[in-house]
A and B are shown apart, each in its own frame.
Chain A
Amino acid sequence: KAGVTQTPRYLIKTRGQQVTLSCSPISGHRSVSWYQQTPGQGLQFLFEYFSETQRNKGNFPGRFSGRQFSNSRSEMNVSTLELGDSALYLCASSPDRASGELFFGEGSRLTVL
């Protein structure tokens, strides 16, 4: 079974731009969640989607948004990028919401200049 696939792996943007990151979950997994990883803040929960609906949201500003498609693939978008948005963005899929068992992709490393 293929693992969680995230694209792009690396990207560089400038302040004020916007970015869209993509995540393809493991086949059959219906829950997709996103985390931001930075050296200073560690792993911070962004949001979780299940059956195309956002079920849980972390404490991030409205510039961070996401969606999930009918095939469970998910995208997250960050608008009006700030220097502090530089981070590794990790997507994780889970077969269901019950156990919290997360299977992570390798992440998208965003650098904002």
Chain B
Amino acid sequence: GEDVEQSLFLSVREGDSSVINCTYTDSSSTYLYWYKQEPGAGLQLLTYIFSNMDMKQDQRLTVLLNKKDKHLSLRIADTQTGDSAIYFCAETYHNAGKSTFGDGTTLTVKP
């Protein structure tokens, strides 16, 4: 079945790295995504990784995928106060038209 889990809260100091973790249960997931939601807004697609990849880097963002443990992480380098938001991981399948989301991790960045 489909289930995506995340820790609910993370607090870091400005300039530090943030690591947000996610576990999923369905090994047939094709794509894994990270979205960011700021207060009063919809979700913004940040980055994604295909299930046949181990790592993807996109500027300050690094996504790591451990398929054996079904573990996904998002690392934000040099975290800024503007990075404070809720981060969602999501899994989807090719041509499914549906994504399953975790409950979101609230990242607080302290100056």
Contacts and interface: CB of A to CB of B under 8 A. Distances in A.
Interface of B: 30-31, 33, 35, 40-45, 48, 88, 90, 92-104
A50 B97 contact: yes
Contacts of A33: 97-99
Contact of A56 (B33, B96, B102): B96
B97 A90 contact: no
Interface of A: 4, 6, 31, 33, 35, 42-43, 45, 48, 50, 55-56, 58, 90, 92, 94, 97-107
A103 B97 contact: no
A48 B45 contact: no
Contacts of B102: 42
B98 A45 contact: yes
Contacts of B88: 43
A43 B45 contact: no
Given A42-B104, A43-B88, A103 B45 contact: yes
Contacts of B98: 33, 45, 48, 56, 58, 100
User: In terms of DSSP, what is the predominant structure of the interface of chain A?
Assistant: strand
Contacts, number: 73
Nearest to A39: B103
B76 to A, nearest CB: 20
A4 B103 CA distance: 23
Contact of A97 (B43, B48, B97, B100): B97
A102 B99 contact: yes
Contact of B42 (A4, A58, A94, A98): A4
Contacts of B45: 101-104
A29 B88 CA distance: 23
B42 A56 contact: no
7 contacts: A33-B98, A42-B101, A50-B97, A58-B98, A99-B48, A100-B92, A104-B45
Given A45-B99, A105-B42, 6 more contacts: A42-B104, A43-B101, A45-B100, A99-B31, A100-B92, A107-B42
| Among B33, B97, B103: residue with most chain A CB under 10 A | B97
